[in-house]
Structure 1
Amino acid sequence: MASANIDNETVDVLFNGKLRVRQPLHGYRFSIVSILLAAFTWLKKKERIADLGTGVGIIPLLLAMRNEGIEQIVGIELQEKLAGVALQNVSMNGLDDIIRVYNEDIRSINGALLPAEFDVVVSNPPYYRVSSGRINPSLQKAIARHEVSCTLDDVLRATSYLLKESGRFFIVFPASRTITLLHRLRSFALEPKRLRWVHSYQGEQAKFILAEAHKGGKEEVEVLPPLMLYTQSGKYSPEIEKIYSGAIIH
């Protein structure tokens, strides 16, 4: 991934120049977790997708690049500056006909969007409790990482509202909070269907969990093999190399 600095922002080039992403030089920046979530998400043609907490729009951009025939992707972002950057990224990549970005609070999403409008919802939410660890002094980073402005329940409530019956939800969350995630998913009629834990290295504890849940789904879950980020030599694993080349991991 190459990047260039422009007025306190960087423009990062992904997938051999197929995608360019503008983001703040300081403040919130997307991470490999968003790239993994986009690769874990599977779509069908003519589907409508919502991304809750879209940041600079990285997940909608990746989904649009990897999947032909999508009807529309809506990115929803609370922070006005990040929503503005996301809009710039959409235009810079020529995706204005596919991606829309709304500067909205997901806690009051029923005032902006109709219920059961979407086939798929995706979210890389703020997943650290306010009481856990030091909150970043940068408000932009704090809102993106800690449950300052929205909680897991807020995300799941909005997801349940937006999804059609049998619609699919894709989320990434800390592995240490797996039990909380699975319990709360079911509380909002979102049945876990596919799980994959992400590890930095073979033999280490999982860092994150990638989960797919279906609205009103039946009780049956598929547990996929663990995903390793790095080889023992410190290089990206073959699967991560494939993802960075544009592959999908579902």
Structure 2
Amino acid sequence: MIPLIESTFDDILYGKLKMRQPLHGPRISVDTILLSWFVKLKNDDNVIELGTASGAVALILAKRWPKVPLIRAIDIQEDLIKMAKENAAINVLSDRVVFEVGDIRKIHALYPTQSFDVVVVNPPYNEISGSRISPKRNLAISRQGIACTLEDVIKASFYLLKDKGRLYLILRAKRISELCYFLEKSRMPLKRLKSVYPKPGREASVVLVEARRNAGRGTRIEPPLYICDETGNYTPELLSAYKIGE
């Protein structure tokens, strides 16, 4: 039997999405919203999210790109996949988003190689050696990478993607050199980069990245995104990331 976990029920994206999420575990954050906003899909894309948790990114993508027929999403935690399936049903998206239990490190056993056009992932922000491990397993998996490393994520993405297929991810800015090393090592050059800053005058907190499998060289550096302006108010660009349609 899957153990019950404490959860909250929240409105996301100005009420366009209703989500149950762990009270003590990976919760929806501004990074979740920004990653979903940064992703660009085509109507015929075959899409998968790795490490979906309670399903927010996959469900937001389904809402934002209604002509994409099917989005798959996996997570190693069975209790979170159960919650994600409930969220799909609540939002009447069960026919368009499929959630499955799966281990990124064993991706070869789950799907054929080069079977997806797009991989989306919010990988663990820290490696085990670089941070104090949370005593809560859900948090440790999402934050410290006890179930997979950044390199595991890149290798799995390369395996899943067709040639020229796109990988979208968000990561702490301080890990950009490490990320670029793994991308180059896996023949997935960085094609698009957007830095996110808490406010003007501060260092970048995270980066939004698009890489492509077996693509040519050349990276587009996009204008930065600021969460808040000089007065502490949310910027129009940040607020636009929370909107789906009108």
TM-score normalised over the length of structure 1:
0.93
* Counterpart position of 1:210: 208
**Paired residues, number:** 241
Q: Which residue identity is paired with 2:92?
A: G
* Counterpart position of 1:87: 85
Please give the alpha-carbon distance, in whole angstroms, between the structure 1 residues aligned to 2:229 and 2:72: 36
Shift of 1:245: 2.0
Aligned residue runs from structure 1 range 15-54, under 5 A = 15-54=13-52
**Gaps (5+ residues) in structure 2?**
none
Shift of 1:234: 2.1
Q: Which residue identity is paired with 2:77?
A: Q
Q: Name segments (4+ residues, structure 1) moved above 4 Å.
A: none
Deviations along 1:119-177, whole A, 9 cap, x unmatched? 10000011201122322111110111012110011101110111111100101111001
Contact preservation (8 Å) 1:123, 1:172? yes
Q: Which residue identity is paired with 2:186?
A: F
**Gaps (5+ residues) in structure 1?**
1-6
* Counterpart position of 2:70: 72
Q: Give the 3-state SS of the residue equivalent to 1:61 in structure 2.
A: helix
2:58 aligned with 1:60, yes or no? yes
Please give the alpha-carbon distance, in whole angstroms, between the structure 1 residues aligned to 2:37 and 2:171: 15
Identity %: 37
* Counterpart position of 2:151: 153
Shift of 1:16: 3.1
Report the more deviating stretch, 227-236 or 61-70. 227-236
2:185 aligned with 1:168, yes or no? no
Please give the alpha-carbon distance, in whole angstroms, between the structure 1 residues aligned to 2:131 and 2:163: 37
Report the more deviating stretch, 219-228 or 65-74. 65-74
Report the more deviating stretch, 190-199 or 128-137. 128-137
Q: Give the 3-state SS of the residue equivalent to 1:203 in structure 2.
A: coil
Q: Which residue identity is paired with 1:125?
A: P
Please give the alpha-carbon distance, in whole angstroms, between the structure 1 residues aligned to 2:244 and 2:231: 23
Contact preservation (8 Å) 1:127, 1:151? no
Q: Which residue identity is paired with 1:188?
A: S
Deviations along 1:6-25, whole A, 9 cap, x unmatched? x9321111233221111112
Q: Which residue identity is paired with 1:147?
A: G
For 1:110, which of 108, 111, 123 is the aligned residue?
Answer: 108
CA RMSD of aligned residues (A): 1.3
